[in-house]
Amino acid sequence: MNVPLTCPITAVAPLLPHSGRMVLLDSITDYGEQHLTATATVGPDHILLQNNRLPCFLGMEIMAQGIGALTGCHARNAGRPVRLGFLLGTRKLDLFADSIPVHTRLLVKVRESVMDATGFGVFDCSLYWTDAPENEKHTLPADGLLAQASLNVYSPHQNNQDNQAV
């Protein structure tokens, strides 16, 4: 039997079907059956930067990786391999900033809303900033909320052994 992962989890890459610079999460600070909280940093070499800033709409990829990390935690705890998942789209996307400056620390929260037996799921997600360069804080929402969305995801079954999404 596998020993369940305990937080904080700083080795996030093994829980995602990504590698190298495409791993956008720094750590997982909390997770459970239907939720996960993680941190991320917008570094100067962040793969999604445009004009030295992260467009807020690309925060969807960070939120999607939160979903993938949750599924990866469950797979790892069950002794299964991490599976590939797909971000199908979003609904109810609300953006509260245009872009996010380099050196901003982020907090991502995901919560399962719907999961079906085919591998389709919907997750309610939010992205917050927790720290930013002093000269950039005025460009960010005072309450910290950068984006929230319901993300539609899909993870095809492999040998019909499990029914988890991304």
pLDDT by residue (tens digit) across 7-65?
A: 999 999 999 998 899 999 999 999 999 999 999 999 999 999 999 999 999 999 999 99
pLDDT of 164 reads 45
* Residue 159 scores a pLDDT above 80: no
Measure the CA–CA gap between 11 and 111, rounded to whole angstroms: 21
pLDDT of 36 reads 98
Counting Cα atoms < 13 Å in the Cβ hemisphere of 96 gives 15
| Domain parsing of the chain, residue ranges | 13-154
* Residue 102 scores a pLDDT above 50: yes
8 prior amide bond cis, ω within 30? yes
Handedness of CA 158, 26, 77, 120 (dihedral sign): negative
The token pair that represents 120 in the structure block = 């389709």
**Superfamily (CATH H level) for 13-154:** Hotdog Thioesterase (3.10.129.10)
Q: Which residues pair with 36 in a beta bridge?
A: 31, 110
- Burial of residue 92 (CB within 10 Å: 0-12, 13-18, 19+) is exposed
Specify the pairing of strand 53-55 against strand 99-101: antiparallel
| Residues listed for the chain | 166
Q: Which residues pair with 94 in a beta bridge?
A: 148
pLDDT of 150 reads 98
Task: Give me the percent of the chain exceeding a pLDDT of 90.
Answer: 86
Confidence of residue 158 (pLDDT cuts 50, 70, 90): low
* Residue 161 scores a pLDDT above 80: no
Task: Give me the percent of the chain exceeding a pLDDT of 70.
Answer: 94
The pTM score is: 0.92
